[in-house]
Amino acid sequence: MFDKSELKAMSRKELEKLLADVKKALASAKARDQREAKKAAARAAAEFGFSLNDIAETAAPLPKKKKNKAKAAKMPSKPVFSNPEDATQTWTGKGRQPNWYREQVATGTDPETMRIKN
């Protein structure tokens, strides 16, 4: 193993060579682990009378990703209430009540008087 002081003393070229060697060793270790895992899986399948190919064929396929359907644009709701003091302020009656609506109701205005007549 390398000590931090040993690594600090190494040149850039030495460190790059060490890095390349480590990458090769990691690839070799991964391939070895895959071979061992495959052997272990084959032994486990054989205990039940199957081969790895038998199991791979019957494995459930991964669910396909659903394609996002283009959603139809929702039409904005029509205003249902308007502010008697400022007709440009309206509310659809859905969602959070606007401040002007709450203030009107708090002062005693009947919500039906604010309803827009069609």
Same domain, 13 and 54: yes
pLDDT at 5: 86
**Predicted confidence (pLDDT) per residue in 64-87, tens digit:** 777 777 778 888 889 999 999 998
Per-residue pLDDT for 61 more than 70? no
Burial of 104 (0-12, 13-18, 19+ CB in 10 A): buried
Residue whose token pair is 């440009």: 88
Is 86 inside a domain boundary? yes
The whole domain housing 87 covers 81-114
pTM of the model: 0.42
Domain shared by 47 and 88, yes or no: no
Q: Is residue 107 part of a domain?
A: yes
